[in-house]
Amino acid sequence: MGQLYEYDDLEQEIINKAGNAMAQEIDREVLWSMLQGLGWTRVMLPRLIDNHHAIDITHWLAINCKHPFERSGRDFMFESQQDANWFKLRWGTE
């Protein structure tokens, strides 16, 4: 009987983690939609090549972006259209 409770606890933990991840993604999408409504520009990279690519992008953002920006994986949001344009030119997005 003790193993059943452990299994139920594990199952509930997995469900809770999945639910929290979904809630965070929904919250981010709502926030980013609001930012787009305020004139922010969203840019999605087609893919990240590897961890070094992601680090290069992070470094580039820190050095080159003059205005606030947000990032989630390969999805970016820029307050400045100019920052977004430079990002697109540098990282080859459409």
Let me know whether 57 and 94 are in one domain.
Answer: yes
Let me know whether 47 and 31 are in one domain.
Answer: no
Q: What is the pLDDT of residue 54?
A: 87
Q: What is the pLDDT of residue 94?
A: 53
Q: What is the pLDDT of residue 26?
A: 85
What pLDDT digit, counting tens, does each position of 14-46 carry? 888 888 888 888 878 888 888 888 999 999 988
Q: Which residues contact 42 (CB under 8 A, 6 or more apart)?
A: 32, 36, 75, 76, 77, 78
Query: What range defines the domain where residue 63 resides?
Result: 39-94
- The pTM score is 0.72
The Cα angle at residue 75 between residues 13 and 39, in degrees rounded to 5: 120
Q: Assess contact for 89 and 43: CB atoms under 8 A.
A: no
Q: What is the pLDDT of residue 93?
A: 65
- Using the predicted structure, report yes or no on whether residue 5 has a pLDDT greater than 80: no
- Using the predicted structure, report yes or no on whether residue 74 has a pLDDT greater than 70: yes
Q: How many domains does the structure of the chain reveal? A: 2
User: How far is Cα 79 from Cα 21, in angstroms, rounded to an integer?
Assistant: 25
